[in-house]
Amino acid sequence: MNKDIERILHSEEDIKAAVKQIGTQITADYAGKAPLLVGILKGSVVFMADLMREIDLNCDIDFMVAKSYGNAAVSSGNVKIIKDLDTDVTGRDLIIVEDILDSARTLYSVRNYLMQKNPASVKICTLLDKKVERAFDLKADYKCFDIENEFVVGYGLDYAEKYRCLPYVGVLKREVYEK
């Protein structure tokens, strides 16, 4: 285990099993369809890479980078798209793939932004769902794990761009971000 990790929350094996289960569920729910998996960079890359191989459908993938400003609950105009999709989403079934749902601010804006482009549907798939008071009314349609309000890294999740490469999800030692 990395010396900066206090404890492992979800091991590589746990994650593999959970991702497989979500993939199977998506495969069943979208039978006969060809969903577009929309990954939010960078945190979603590891989850996306594993998830797409557990979905037995003719799906494709694309990625976005977005930053939200101000109160996204008021309008969807507060999201700045740093990198937009290359794919035309009109009439498509979209599944937004995210590493973690925290305040849900960014995802709320991204979802509204995508809904304006007339897709057939938009759903949200997250690896982790953090137990916090949410300012934005957003629920994950698919999730692997609920977690407590702790700062976690690994499996794509970072602290200051570090720790994304860890194969597990772990709680970062407080001393790392409080020093």
CA atoms within a 13 Å half-sphere pointing along the CA-CB vector of 8: 13
Given a contact cutoff of 8 angstroms between Cβ atoms, the answer to whether 78 and 70 are in contact is: yes
Q: Does residue 39 belong to the site contacting Mg ion (CB under 5 A)? A: no
Given a contact cutoff of 8 angstroms between Cβ atoms, the answer to whether 87 and 61 are in contact is: no
Interatomic CA distance for residues 165 and 153, integer angstroms: 9
Q: Which stretch binds Mg ion (CB under 5 A): 15-23, 35-43, 75-83, 131-139?
A: 35-43
Q: Does residue 154 belong to the site contacting Mg ion (CB under 5 A)? A: no
Q: Find the catalytic residue in 50, 93, 99, 102.
A: 102
Cβ of residue 58: shortest distance to ligand IMP, in angstroms?
Answer: 28
Q: Residue number with the shortest CB distance to ligand IMP? A: 103
Binding mask 40-79 for Mg ion (x = CB under 5 A): ---x------------------------------------
Residues, the chain, total?
179
Nearest to 77 by CA among 113, 51, 42: 113
146 assigned to active site? no
Residues designated catalytic: 102
